[in-house]
């Protein structure tokens, strides 16, 4: 299938050379003709046109991470019945709109649908965050992104829900990548301690569920306090108290707050403005403050310093950072 592509198409529908709407067309041919959705083309076995659609819609250039998803969809869209000995099996095409009879509207079933992702995969990612299994969590959230990138939903309401989950998965993947980099740092050396404090602070920036953000704030608060960065520790404690939550966590925050208020100074100067709102670059893991030039992944929205434009997104690992894109299509109206 190839790792990289550089193709463009002029509309959300692409030509499928092997398919004509007349006699001799298989149902799989019709799926590809009927839909501007990449998942439907993958189900039909038309991987090239699926890649073309993704390139136009979200700037997809590295398709290697999507190969398992393409094959999962392709294999789920048909069943085989044994035929007479010596003859090939009979193919049964599995539709998602089983009551439809108009050939122009026939579409394939797509496995791992939105409901499954929301109720199973997303909860698995949350569980990894709670249990501190960040390596597993990062893999789970990237799998969620790949599953939704090649998917189909049944309404515009579902499109909105899918986009919400895409944003959530990107935020969690960014947060987990930050903390995993911090944990990989050597524990000795001034530069490493400084970088560890910075990454711990940045870990509190992605938009996580409140309970999970509290875990990030607690870790950052304790690390800052241990290294006598009392001003930073105080800011994390105040954020924890503003969020609310379990009495145990809040009691710890109150104790740290009380001690830091006696001398609210940082011993180690770090690149972290506790009073400013900013995004974290998903590549360099440094702040992107308001007014600074930046670019984003056209699929998952991960933010980057402008110098990373044209590279492959570190979060989804599929799309070109800053590429022009028409937007993901998940619903064929």
15 and 42 together in one domain: yes
9 and 62 together in one domain: yes
Q: How high does pLDDT run on average in the chain?
A: 92
> Domain count of the chain?
4
Query: pLDDT tens digits for 241-263?
Result: 999 988 999 999 999 999 999 99
pLDDT value at 4 more than 50: no
23 and 81 together in one domain: yes
Percent of the chain residues topping a pLDDT of 70: 92
130 and 84 together in one domain: no
Residue 266 lies in a domain: no
Residue 268 lies in a domain: no
CB–CB of 1/63 below 8 Å?
yes
pLDDT value at 83 more than 90: no
Q: How far apart are CA 237 and CA 254, in angstroms?
A: 7
Which residue, 214, 230, 260, sits at the end of a domain? 260
- 90 falls in which pLDDT band (50, 70, 90)? confident
- Mean pLDDT, residues 73-97: 90
pLDDT value at 97 more than 80: yes
Specify the pLDDT at position 11: 45
Q: How far apart are CA 25 and CA 175, in angstroms?
A: 48
- 2 falls in which pLDDT band (50, 70, 90)? very low
pTM over 0.75: yes
pLDDT value at 100 more than 90: no
Alpha helices in 131-246 (DSSP H): 134-149, 156-184, 190-202, 210-226, 230-243
Which residue, 126, 144, 178, sits at the end of a domain? 178
Residue 109 lies in a domain: no
| Residue 305 lies in domain | 276-328
256 and 228 together in one domain: yes
pLDDT value at 3 more than 70: no
Q: How far apart are CA 188 and CA 66, in angstroms?
A: 39
Q: Which two tokens stand for residue 276?
A: 């400013």
- 16 falls in which pLDDT band (50, 70, 90)? very low
Query: pLDDT tens digits for 124-151?
Result: 999 999 999 999 999 999 999 999 999 9
CB atoms within 10 A of CB 192: 13
36 and 79 together in one domain: yes
Residue 126 lies in a domain: yes
Q: How far apart are CA 285 and CA 302, in angstroms?
A: 11
Residue 185 lies in a domain: no
Q: Got the DSSP string for 63-110?
A: -GGGHHHHHHHHHHTEEEE--STTSPPEEEEPBSSTT---GGG--B--
Query: pLDDT tens digits for 48-76?
Result: 999 999 999 999 999 999 999 999 999 99
Question: Which residue from 136, 6, 128, 146 is spatially nearest to 70, judged by alpha carbons?
Answer: 146
């Amino acid at each position: 299938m190839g790792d990289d592509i550089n193709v463009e198409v002029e509309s959300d529908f692409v030509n499928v050379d092997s398919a004509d709407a007349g006699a001799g067309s298989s149902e799989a041919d019709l799926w590809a003709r009927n839909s501007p959705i990449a998942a439907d083309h993958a189900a039909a076995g038309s991987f090239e046109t699926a890649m073309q659609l993704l390139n136009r819609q979200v700037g997809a250039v590295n398709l290697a991470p999507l190969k398992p998803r393409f094959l999962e969809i392709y294999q789920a869209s048909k069943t085989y019945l044994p035929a007479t000995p010596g003859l090939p099996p009979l193919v049964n095409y599995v539709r998602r709109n089983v009551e439809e009879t108009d050939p122009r509207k026939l579409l394939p079933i797509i496995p791992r649908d939105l409901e499954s992702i929301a109720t199973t995969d997303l909860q698995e990612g949350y569980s990894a965050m709670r249990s501190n299994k960040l390596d597993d969590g990062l893999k789970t959230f990237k799998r969620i992104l790949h599953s939704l990138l090649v998917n189909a939903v049944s309404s515009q309401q579902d499109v909105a829900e899918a986009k919400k989950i895409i944003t959530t998965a990107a935020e969690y993947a960014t947060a987990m990548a930050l903390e995993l980099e911090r944990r990989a740092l050597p524990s000795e050396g001034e530069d490493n301690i400084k970088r560890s404090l910075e990454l711990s602070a940045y870990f509190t920036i992605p938009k996580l569920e409140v309970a999970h953000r509290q875990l990030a704030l607690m870790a950052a608060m304790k690390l800052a306090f241990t290294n006598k960065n009392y001003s930073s520790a105080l800011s994390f404690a105040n954020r924890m108290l503003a969020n609310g939550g379990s009495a145990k966590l809040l009691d710890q925050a109150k104790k740290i707050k009380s001690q830091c208020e006696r001398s609210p100074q940082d011993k180690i100067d770090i690149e972290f403005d506790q009073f400013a709102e900013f995004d974290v670059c998903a590549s360099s893991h440094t702040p992107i403050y308001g007014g600074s030039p930046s670019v984003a992944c056209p699929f998952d929205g991960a933010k980057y310093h402008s110098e990373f434009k044209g590279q492959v997104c570190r979060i989804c690992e599929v799309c070109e950072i800053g590429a022009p894109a028409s937007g993901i299509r998940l619903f064929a109206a």
